[in-house]
Chains A and B, each alone.
Chain A
Amino acid sequence: MSIDIISKIKEAGLLGKSGSNFPVWIKWDSVKKADALKKYVIANAAEGEPEVFKDGFILNNYPKEVVLGIKAALNCIEKSSGYIYLRKDYYNKFKYTLNKLIKGADIKLFKKTGGYLSGEETVLLNIIEGRLSEPRIKPPYPTESGLFGYPSLINNVETFYRVSKVLKGEYKDNRFYSISGDVNNRGVFEFKTDLNISQILKESNNFPDFDFFVQAGGGISGEILLPSELGRPLKGTGGIIIYNRKRTNPASLIVKKLKFLMNENCDKCVPCREGIYRIFEMVKNNDIDKDKLNEIVFALEETSLCGLGKCSVVSIKGFFNKLL
């Protein structure tokens, strides 16, 4: 059965739903093959990107499927124990249902502490271990040395949901999208993964009739796209936010987002700690030095320790190139 599920996942072409698009079977396979006394399977429901709420939707509507997917991983990977890592409000809301579903299985619920960064997979490991909420240096990757130093499979809850579909033979190459902002039909929608953003907005009855821009892929790390740029599928986490251009001041919006980043980052590495602050300072004082800005963005992208700093440039670049 175990070989079976991995090859089925491979055959289905399932990609990780955290936003990474990493082939799921490779992770499963390397944890399964790792030589260790103990292993872990972790479902990540930290969902820290502002304005993304599809994991909450999945936990609310398909908890059975999610747990089924996790159990499949536990079956497939010997000597493994499971965790469902839930952000606080999800923990409070879903613990009753989930506890019932995981009864008898070696799965524990874990209430997330900390903020945005706590969803990053190595920070998640530190938090479950009771350490500082800081990213770990990779390599080693969690699949080699994860929770308490043991090989660990970390997948988004939606990924486990999709695995359950593979198991049942009902797999379709679909994805959940949360759509919010200046829209009429806010909510979570399921479409094919190759649908472009324009189609997603139209199909969900959310395509604006006013001048707008979107942030696609999450309220912090998502990219800024103009209406003419929507002919591409969604990258990053499954969230699209629509902004009414007339009602939005881009400068104050990016100040808000930079502040969020400054608050939520771990301050460990230089480009993220100092660089984001300097960009914030420039925008706030309305004194933008393009050279400085480009150089800081370069340092952030090339030299940040973890994904937070690296991904922050996606939206920062968008704001400066397209909106300011």
Chain B
Amino acid sequence: MKIQAIIDDKRIESEEGKTILEAAKDNGIKIPSLCFHSDLSPGASCRLCLVEIKGRKGLHTSCSVKLEHNMEIRTKSPEIEKARRINLELIFSQHIEECDDCLLKLNCELLRLADEFKVEITRFSDRKKKYPIYKFGPSLIFDSSKCIDCRNCVEVCHIQQADFLEVKKRGCFYEIVPSKNKKRDCIYCGQCLVHCPVGAFEAVGEFEDIEKPLKNKDKVVVFQFAPSIRTSIGEEFNLDYGAIVTEKLAAAIRRLGADKVFDVSVGADFTTYEEAKELVERLKGGKNLPMFTSCCPSWVKFVEFYYPKLIPNLTSVRSPHIISGALIKTYWAKRENINPKNIVVVSIMPCVAKKYEIRRKELKIKGIKPVDYVLTTRELAWLIRKRKIDIKNIKGEELDSALGMPSGSGIIYGATGGVMESALRQVSYNLLKQPIDIEFKKVRGMEGVKKAELSIGGGIIKAAVASGIGNAKRILDELKKNPKLYNYIEVMACPGGCIGGGGQPVPADKEIRRKRAESLYSIDDKKEIKTAGESPIVKRVYDEFLNNEKLIKDICHTRYFKKKKEVK
């Protein structure tokens, strides 16, 4: 139902049930806010989104009060501004400013508000000067001296079913701390980082270590970037949400000094090819069903730590950049006659968990790591800015074609449902033995849980897709009641899939994630080859190189292990 109200003398209309903040935003009225995030329930802790409501005493937080019919609201007044300024000064008193290498350097809402409300940011001494810095494995750093206690991270960690971040009392104050509980561990998804309004979380090495990979002057430095990067990194350069910058990115990476630029989407086609094979085998044998996807390292860690009994359900197929990294160091190295030890592979990933994944020993091939470094989308953007490369105006260049071009399937891996759709396309293609052009629309979109059924050759694929571990947990709970409800399940730990990953530009919300994903599908639309198995490079590599089971196993498959708590 539509309701009317007046905000700042302007008559507005809104759906009933929205908060004042949301309704104002829908009508183009921006109310300053900091701790509010549309993915989360309003915490109303920062006390900045204050408004006056006619007939009600005092100031009210617009993030938590629902708009009512005929409400009269003011978002600006001397009182409101004074209150915002004081609360901002108090927020600064608990936030150590280290703006130089902060990931929010270019779009810090806190600093912007300080400017808007003429805040004296050092009015009070820093309360948290001695607060500790925590490191969560090789993935995340939490600098609690920057934390403003909004607890968004705690809420999102709870949504992610990890409950690793906790609120604990020390002295007079509650603090946010990593759990000491043996049964809780970080799954490295980085959603804490994405939902932190003040940059208290960052990736390990962000941004001190970003030039390391380029210092290998005597080696062949190969960059490869993940499917989702091409539609997200533009935001770091003020381009529109969802701007597609594939070729510009390739050019920029070459300017950085990389010898080759490859596309992880090619690796994704190999993942799809192998995974579709494995799915059909498992469906025939009826063993270890439902099969789970495994390209998301946070999901894998979640299963290994919280649900080790389900390890056999994970597909043994490696994630795309691990396969393409391995192909670079084996197939391509052999073709180019380069010693694999002299190749450095740098993956540009939307993800901080990928920093953890590349350390897994079982991924080594003859003692060599398939991937040497992982940089996040943000880290690559930082590097490009640092080297003063103008990505807006740079002339696009083709990626290196030595490892071929990806199919459309490889591109949509970056969005939730993409792996599922790729596998379904591949299974259908194998069965029909001809190129197909089916869109599996039911597995697309930003909903947290999606379901689809596909009849194939007498059998039925009962598919479920989840993004966000909370949504995956819902599916696991369903399976507890009915183990045969699904036989193939895609899980991505981050909302919306990799386009909402912990390595992606901040801020991100549902709308932004939708735009990033839509652009991926638009690239797929234009691709002539949409199925992994149709891709010439896939065919060629299987013909020339991956022609025995042992090699396929070494390059394309892996194992998983029950995990004990890693972050102590």
Binding site for B on A (CB under 8 A): 132, 137, 139, 259, 262-263, 266-271, 273-275, 277-278, 292, 295-296, 298-299, 301-305
Contact = CB atoms under 8 A, between A and B. Distances in A.
B308 to A, nearest CB: 28
A287 to B, nearest CB: 11
B44 A269 contact: yes
Given A269-B47, A299-B87, A305-B47, 5 more contacts: A266-B174, A273-B173, A299-B86, A299-B90, A302-B79
B172 A305 contact: no
Interface string B226-270: 000000000000000000000000000000000000000000000
A278 B90 contact: yes
Nearest to B89: A295
Contact of A274 (B43, B66, B90): B90
Contacts of A301: 58
Contacts of A278: 90, 93, 124
A282 to B, nearest CB: 10
24 contacts: A137-B64, A139-B65, A259-B172, A263-B172, A267-B173, A268-B45, A268-B151, A269-B46, A269-B47, A270-B45, A271-B86, A273-B173, A277-B173, A292-B123, A298-B83, A299-B47, A299-B87, A302-B58, A302-B59, A302-B79, A303-B47, A303-B50, A303-B59, A303-B61
Contacts of A270: 45-47, 87, 90-91, 148
Nearest to A266: B174
B494 to A, nearest CB: 26
A293 to B, nearest CB: 11
B94 interface: yes
B42 interface: yes
Interface in B94-136: 94, 123-124, 127
Query: Which 3 pairs show the lowest CB-CB distances between chains A and B?
Result: A274-B90, A262-B172, A267-B174
B82 interface: yes
B170 to A, nearest CB: 11
Nearest to A264: B172
A298 B82 contact: yes
Contacts of B93: 274, 278
B43, B148, B172, B173 — most chain A CB neighbours (10 Å)? B172
B287 to A, nearest CB: 41
B83 A302 contact: yes
Interface string B13-47: 00000000000000000000000000000111111
A299 B94 contact: no
Given A263-B172, A274-B127, A275-B90, A268 B43 contact: yes
A222 B434 CA distance: 82
B355 to A, nearest CB: 32
Contacts of A262: 172-173
Q: Which of B43, B90, B173 has the most CB of A within 10 A?
A: B90
Given A274-B93, A277-B172, A298-B82, A139 B149 contact: no
B92 to A, nearest CB: 10
A132 B124 CA distance: 30
A91 B386 CA distance: 65
Interface string B43-78: 111110010000000110100111000000000000
A274 B94 contact: yes
B84 to A, nearest CB: 9
A299 B48 CA distance: 11
Contacts of A263: 172
B280 interface: no
B551 interface: no
B167 interface: yes
A262 B173 CA distance: 7
Nearest to B34: A270
B388 to A, nearest CB: 39
Nearest to A274: B90
A304 B44 CA distance: 10
A132 B168 CA distance: 11
A220 B254 CA distance: 66
Contacts of B44: 137, 269, 305
Contacts of B151: 268
Contacts of A137: 42, 44, 61, 64
B172 A298 contact: no
A271 B172 contact: no
B35 to A, nearest CB: 9
A132 B149 contact: no
Given A278-B93, A292-B123, A271 B87 contact: yes
A299 B83 contact: yes
A73 to B, nearest CB: 28
B123 A305 contact: no
Contacts of B149: 267-268, 273
A286 to B, nearest CB: 16
B128 to A, nearest CB: 11
Contacts of A298: 82-83, 86
Contacts of A259: 172
Of B42, B45, B79, B91, which is in contact with the most chain A CB atoms at under 10 Å from its CB?
A: B45
B64 A295 contact: no
Nearest to B44: A137
A270 B172 CA distance: 15
A292 B44 CA distance: 23
B127 to A, nearest CB: 7
Nearest to B154: A132
B352 to A, nearest CB: 28
Contacts of B173: 262, 267, 273, 277
Contacts of B83: 298-299, 302-303
B12 to A, nearest CB: 20
A265 B467 CA distance: 36
Contacts of B65: 139
A301 to B, nearest CB: 8
Interface centre among A270, A273, A304, A305 (most CB of B within 10 A): A270
Nearest to A272: B47
A267 B45 CA distance: 9
A305 B45 contact: yes
B23 to A, nearest CB: 16
Contacts of A304: 47
A266, A268, A273, A274, most chain B CB atoms within 10 A: A274
Contacts of B64: 137
A299 B42 CA distance: 20
A273 B45 CA distance: 10
A4 B44 CA distance: 41
A278 B94 CA distance: 11
B323 to A, nearest CB: 44
